[in-house]
């Protein structure tokens, strides 16, 4: 199992030597594996690197003297600013509004825009994707070790939940990184274009197989569902016949994996079964989630157009929740003592935007994500028609699909949030870039 951290490296030497302009981007990816700078987990080294990344991209644009964005790209990338600013002005606490404004602009506008501007061609994109795979292998290796040695986060009374370096306070962090790395590997491995590098495809396929293990022992239902949907999407886009063969092989591998997981097989089976039991026999976490979803809907009904303001959900939660809502979730393990984690969001990004930003936020922010998905799909179709390589298209589509599905079960927050911004940036480059995609 420890081989997860020592997977065969992908052939990156040539692109790495000629891509010093990507150093800030690669630094953000690497620093995602470091612990938070403060005890509350609100500040991370990756966030600091994001600020450097944005500044680096700005200087690169000024130095080039070229028009950095097309009109369509400027509209799509700038559209969320409207809803975010309106929601910030409607917040009850100015200091909270400013903090929320900075965070939303960082994750959904500035960092994705910086990634879009810095990536020059497909080799740059592949290098970034391989860096995400490397991060996922590292986090996955740590997570598997936590599972095998019972040093992970607490799950059903045992410290076996794989969380990587993110700790028990961000149990979704490792599963997010591993899911994104897995989809990057699948996209690079399934490029159907004749002449695609066999060495890169085989290495990527091996990495994808290794990453299935830490994803399984993360016990994250939301990540499982989002990864399954995104992986199936990538498979179908790479070829229907291939998709059927790979899905059959994955089904067989899953049976073997669950059967060989020893004492953890029953827990994996119970966790899988719980996905279909959220209505008939929901656990407390599911009850809390449904209660907060209902609270978010009530907040939106009170202010349909603009919502209750950025970061306003915690202040309005209790007034709009039923007695079924617990006081918080229990976290322990992975080197941390028992702690009661407060429930400060609905764990659904769409409902969070709806409750805090209203219809304006949904149209501008969620509408921007939909525009990226449509534009990326159209560019993928053109690339297929031209016979261009599809690996970047498959990776970008898979990552964006994963994010949009995962947002039904989670939202932004925690040390892994910077990866959300990078995913949007990679998707934006494929959908909107005017250079390097060979499909224009």
pLDDT in tens, 79-98: 999 989 998 888 878 888 88
pLDDT of res. 337: 60
The percentage of residues in the chain with a pLDDT greater than 90, rounded to a whole number, is 47
pLDDT of res. 272: 60
pLDDT of res. 231: 92
pLDDT of res. 340: 65
Instruction: Give the model confidence (pLDDT) of 156-196 as tens digits.
Output: 778 888 999 988 878 888 999 999 999 999 999 988 777 66
Poorest-pLDDT segment among 45-54, 85-94, 379-388: 85-94
pLDDT of res. 256: 62
| Mean pLDDT, range 95-105, rounded to an integer | 89
| Token representation of residue 233 | 């999407």
| Token representation of residue 115 | 């990634």
| Mean pLDDT, range 58-67, rounded to an integer | 87
Report pTM: 0.89
Q: Are 153 and 171 in contact (CB under 8 A)?
A: yes
Q: CA 386 from chain center: how many Å?
A: 30
Poorest-pLDDT segment among 42-51, 262-271, 380-389: 262-271
pLDDT of res. 145: 94
Cα 138 to Cα 5: distance, rounded to the nearest angstrom: 5
pLDDT of res. 437: 66
Cα 348 to Cα 158: distance, rounded to the nearest angstrom: 27
Parallel/antiparallel/unpaired status of strands 158-161 and 329-333: unpaired
**Higher confidence at residue 229 or residue 329?**
229
| Mean pLDDT, range 343-369, rounded to an integer | 92
Of 330, 332, 348, residue with least CA distance to 340 = 330
Q: Are 71 and 43 in contact (CB under 8 A)?
A: no
| Mean pLDDT, range 293-309, rounded to an integer | 91
Q: Is the pLDDT of residue 50 over 90?
A: yes
Q: Is the pLDDT of residue 140 over 70?
A: yes
pLDDT of res. 2: 45
Reported confidence tier of residue 75, pLDDT bands at 50, 70, 90: very high
Q: What strand order describes the sheet that includes 153-155?
A: 158-161, 153-155, 329-333, 336-341
């Amino acid at each position: 199992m420890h081989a997860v951290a020592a997977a065969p490296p992908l052939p990156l030497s040539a692109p790495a030597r000629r891509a010093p302009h990507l150093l800030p981007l690669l630094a953000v990816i690497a620093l995602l594996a470091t612990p938070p700078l403060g005890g509350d987990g609100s500040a991370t080294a990756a966030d600091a690197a994001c600020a450097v990344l944005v500044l680096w991209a700005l200087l690169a644009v000024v130095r080039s003297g070229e028009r950095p964005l097309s009109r369509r790209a400027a509209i799509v990338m700038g559209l969320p600013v409207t809803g975010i600013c309106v929601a910030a002005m409607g917040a009850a606490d100015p200091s909270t509004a400013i903090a929320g404004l900075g965070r939303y602009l960082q994750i959904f506008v500035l960092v994705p825009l910086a990634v879009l501007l810095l990536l020059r061609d497909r080799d740059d994109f592949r290098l970034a994707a391989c860096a995400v795979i490397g991060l996922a292998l590292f986090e996955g290796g740590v997570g598997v070790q936590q599972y095998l040695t019972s040093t992970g986060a607490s799950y059903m009374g045992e410290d076996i939940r794989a969380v990587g370096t993110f700790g028990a306070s961000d149990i979704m962090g490792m599963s997010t990184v591993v899911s994104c790395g897995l989809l990057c590997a699948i996209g690079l491995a399934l490029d159907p274009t004749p002449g695609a590098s066999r060495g890169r495809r085989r290495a990527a396929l091996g990495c994808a197989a290794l990453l299935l293990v830490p994803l399984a022992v993360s016990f994250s239902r939301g990540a499982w569902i989002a990864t399954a949907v995104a992986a199936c999407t990538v498979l179908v886009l790479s070829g229907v016949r291939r998709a059927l063969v790979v899905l059959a092989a994955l089904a067989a591998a899953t049976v073997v994996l669950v059967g060989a997981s020893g004492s953890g097989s029953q827990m994996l089976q119970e966790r899988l079964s719980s996905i279909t039991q959220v209505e008939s026999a929901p656990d407390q976490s599911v009850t809390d989630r449904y209660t907060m979803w209902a609270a978010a809907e009530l907040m939106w009904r009170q202010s349909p157009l603009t919502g209750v303001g950025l970061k306003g959900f915690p202040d309005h939660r209790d007034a709009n929740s039923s007695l079924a809502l617990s006081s918080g979730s229990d976290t322990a393990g992975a080197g941390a003592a028992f702690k009661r984690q407060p429930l400060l969001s609905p764990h659904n990004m769409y409902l969070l935007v709806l409750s805090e930003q209203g219809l304006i936020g949904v149209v501008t922010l969620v509408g921007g994500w939909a525009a990226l998905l449509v534009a990326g799909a159209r560019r993928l179709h053109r690339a297929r028609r031209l016979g261009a390589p599809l690996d970047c298209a498959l990776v970008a589509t898979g990552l964006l699909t994963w994010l949009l599905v995962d947002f039904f079960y989670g939202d932004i927050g925690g040390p892994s949030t910077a990866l959300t911004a990078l995913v949007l940036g990679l998707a934006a480059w494929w959908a909107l870039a005017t250079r390097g995609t060979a499909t224009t």
